[in-house]
Amino acid sequence: MKVLVVGGGGREHTLVWKLKQSPRVKEIYCAPGNAGISGEAACVDIAADDIDALLDFALEKGINLTVVGPEAPLSLGIVDRFREKGLRIFGPAQKAAEIEGSKVLAKEIMYKYNIPTAEYADFTDSDKAVEYIRKVGAPIVVKADGLAAGKGVIVAMDEQTAVDAVKSIMEERAFGDSGNRVVIEQFLEGEEVSILAFTDGTNVVPMVSSQDHKRIYDNDEGPNTGGMGAYSPAPVYTRDVEPFVYERVLLPTIQGMKEEGRTYEGVIYAGLMMTKDGPKVLEYNARFGDPETQAVLARLETDLVDIIDAVLEKRLADIEIKWSDNVAVCVVMASGGYPGSYEKGKVISGLNEAESEGAIVFHAGTAEKDGQIVSSGGRVLGVTALGSSIPEAIENVYRAVAKITWDGVQYRKDIGKKAIKHL
């Protein structure tokens, strides 16, 4: 079959890499892709959110399956548009993807279906929001309702920071219309875990657990980023909590979405805080996580095309999904200055040497220039390695990372460290 992957980051490189392992995939395209993806798929110069152009391309090429990476095309309704034309596409419809696109909707679903989450209030009026902050006090969390490229959440340790966040989101409109409403939420403490699951709208099959590293610097210091590394499994997510998360989070979310007329199909991602009172949902994403996907799919043994077929044909309950017992660690290598401003076009060296160390080098922000691979984004590479234990996987990945360099490169030296303390 002919497959199209939409997106061009590390997650999409991983999807292309995994889909290509399927004997059923004969041709694979990626829009827009990146320099690493172009070694494995035909990259097409169409932006991930240009639905019209993607649709034309898929019709013209006779694409049999489209797999969507990022949230933007999902919230623009790419799935609905493709299906109207009879095309097979993996991902939630627009109304379902809103669970990521609107934090207010996500909270309403959680409250209505009794899914554990932080207490909250939502506001369309900034004065009322400020009044509420003054009443409840800090620490407190302020969230823009809509999509904000991962920047719309402010964890405020003091009242003034929270008040400033409300002003920036609602009055200065830092995220445009995404700031028409805000969610103000109780601060939760604990370790975070990402649980991704496949769902066909009725059945939910969780993937193996993983943990992201959102802050830019070691020991979780500095500003938030898109994610500086991940590992799988996350030992904080013990066997004991699995049934709780399945029964109290994943299943009611999918059942609730169906009852709301928002039948959810594809990958649902629950970001959980493992609090002392048990797991609580921080957020939902309507897609695979980045960089969680690099660590999680590195452990998937089942053909991803078979799983996607089972989702599309609503027979997810009948398929067995197998995972390797290995541990996977992904270290994100980023441009100097990220998540602030950074320079692009730096020549990257050591890619082949890193692969000779047994790692998989997933590209995120890379481009080809005069026959060389150069940086072209904030997060540049996701170097991923397996091992039979977390210390071994960490050693394997950093041996490979050490081979790669460019002017200004930065990466965290402590990816996976949190897992070790649970051993």
- Gap between the Cα atoms of 291 and 70, Å rounded: 12
Does residue 265 interact with ligand GLY by CB under 6 A?
no
- Asked whether position 98 contacts ligand GLY by CB under 6 A, the answer is no
Q: For residue 210, how far is the Cα from the chain centroid?
A: 11
Closest residue by beta carbon to ligand AMP? 283
Q: For ligand AMP, how many residues bind (rule: CB under 6 A)?
A: 13
Quick one: which segment of 126-134, 141-149, 286-294, 325-333 binds ligand GLY (CB under 6 A)? 286-294
Question: Does residue 87 sit in helix, strand or coil?
Answer: coil
The least CB distance from residue 264 to ligand AMP, in Å, is 18
CA dihedral angle for residue 82, residue 85, residue 86, residue 88, rounded to 10 degrees: -20
Whole-number Å distance between alpha carbons of 366 and 9: 9
100 vs 75: CA distance, rounded Å: 8
Number of Cβ within 10 Å of residue 219's Cβ equals 11
When asked if residue 98 is in the footprint of ligand AMP (CB under 6 A), the reply is no
Give, as ranges, the residues between 139 and 168 that touch ligand AMP (CB under 6 A): 141, 153, 155
Which residue in the block uniquely carries the two structure tokens 């009172």? 277
With CB under 6 A as the contact rule, the residue among 285, 375, 376, 396 that binds ligand GLY is 285
Establish if 188 lies at the interface with ligand AMP (CB under 6 A): yes
Options 82-90, 122-130, 283-291, 357-365: segment touching ligand GLY (CB under 6 A): 283-291
Q: Minimum distance between the CB of residue 261 and ligand GLY, rounded to whole angstroms?
A: 26
Which one of residues 36, 179, 271, 365 is an interface residue with ligand AMP (CB under 6 A)? Answer: 271
Q: Which of 70, 289, 378, 382 binds ligand GLY (CB under 6 A)?
A: 289
Which of ligand AMP, ligand GLY, none does residue 292 bind to, with CB < 5 to 8 Å depending on kind?
A: ligand GLY
Site for ligand GLY in 224-243 (CB under 6 A): 227
Amino acid occupying residue 315: R
Q: Is the peptide bond before 233 cis (omega within 30 degrees of 0)?
A: yes
Place of tokens 């799988």: 232
Does 136 help bind ligand AMP (rule: CB under 6 A)?
Answer: no
Structure tokens at 204: 């939910």
Residue 182 pairs in a beta bridge with 123, 144
Alpha-carbon distance 143 to 181, whole Å?
9
- Of the chain, the end-to-end C-alpha distance in Å amounts to 44
Among 260, 265, 283, 290, binds ligand AMP (CB under 6 A): 283
The whole-angstrom separation of Cα 91 and Cα 79 is 7
In 3-state terms, what secondary structure has residue 95? Answer: helix
x-or-dash string of contact with ligand AMP, 223-262, rule CB under 6 A: ----------------------------------------
Interface residue with ligand AMP, options 187, 217, 246, 323 (CB under 6 A) = 187
CB of 212 to ligand GLY, least distance (A): 4
Strand 266-275, strand 191-199: pairing: antiparallel
Closest CB 139 distance from ligand AMP, rounded Å: 8
Choosing among ligand GLY, ligand AMP, none, which partner's interface includes residue 290 (Cβ < 5 to 8 Å by kind)? Answer: ligand GLY
Residue among 260, 265, 136 at smallest CA distance from 197: 265
Amino acid letter for position 126: S
Summarize as ranges the residues that interact with ligand GLY (CB under 6 A). Answer: 212, 227, 285, 289-290, 292
Summarize as ranges the residues that interact with ligand AMP (CB under 6 A). Answer: 118, 141, 153, 155, 185-188, 192, 214, 271, 282-283
